[in-house]
Amino acid sequence: MVPGADDIQRICETFNINPNWLLFGEGPKYRGKKAEKPEKTAEIPEKALDAEEYVFLPLLESRVTAGPDGEIFYEGVADYYPFKRWWIEKLVGRSPERQKKLVLFRVRGDSMSPTINPGEVVLIDTSESERINIKTGKIYLVRQSDGGLSIKRLFLSKEEGKLRLTYWSDNPIYNPVEIEIEPDRGLKYYVLGRIRWVGREVD
C-alpha cells in the first residue's frame, strides 16, 4: 500500500524527518539541520606524472602498415603510456631522437603464444641499428611475404651468397617461414623493429 500525505506527515513528525529528504532525497535528513557540505575530494595534481621522471611512448592504432623502404605508417595514436625515464635511457640512451624510435603496438595474433599473447602491448625499437643488426633468436616485428605484419623470432642465415630470414613462431601450431632477401631490398624492408618489452623487459 502506498502511504498517503497524512501517513508521510505522521512519519516525519514522529521521527523528526525532513519531508524533502524523504520524498526527493534533497536537503538534510532531519528537521532543523543545515544541509551538510559534500566531502571535499582529493584534487588531481596539475601534473599527475612528472615529465622529468617519465617518457611517454605512443600506442599506435590497430592498423599499422609498412612502406616500400620499411617506413612504419599508422592512422593515429590511440594513447600514450608512461615509462620510467631511467629505464628508457638504459635501453636506448638519452637522445630524444633515439627515444622517438620507440613505439607501442597491440598484438593481435597468437603465433607467439605463450611468450606474447593476443591483446598484450609490446614496445618496439624501430631504430635502423636494430633493424639491420639482427640478433639471432630475438623477437621482431616483421613483414610477411603477403605484406602483412607479424611478430616472430628471427634467424638470419647466408647460403650461396644469399641472405635468408627464417620467421619462427613460439606457438607450435605454426610452421617456420623462410624468406630470401631480394637483392634490391635490404633487411629494413623485412624487419621493422625489435621487441624490447611486453609487460617485462625482453632481451
Q: Where would I find the beta strands (DSSP E) of the chain?
A: 54-60, 64-66, 72-74, 77-84, 102-106, 121-125, 139-143, 149-159, 162-168, 177-180, 191-197
Looking at the fold, whether 84 and 137 belong to one and the same domain comes out as yes
Looking at the fold, whether 11 and 68 belong to one and the same domain comes out as no
Determine the length of the chain.
203
Structural domain tally of the chain? 2
Looking at the fold, whether 85 and 132 belong to one and the same domain comes out as yes
How far CA 85 is from CA of 42, 52, 60, 88, 98, in Å, comes to 27, 8, 20, 5, 13
Looking at the fold, whether 58 and 85 belong to one and the same domain comes out as yes
pLDDT tens, residue by residue, 75-119: 678 888 899 999 999 999 999 999 999 999 988 889 999 999 999
Placement of cell 614496445 in the chain: 123
Query: Residue 98 is part of a domain; what is its CATH number?
Result: 2.10.109.10
Looking at the fold, whether 116 and 187 belong to one and the same domain comes out as yes
Query: With a threshold of 0.85, does the pTM exceed it?
Result: no
Q: Which residues contact 109 (CB under 8 A, 6 or more apart)?
A: 118, 150, 151
Looking at the fold, whether 73 and 26 belong to one and the same domain comes out as no
Looking at the fold, whether 14 and 98 belong to one and the same domain comes out as no
Domain housing 115: 54-197
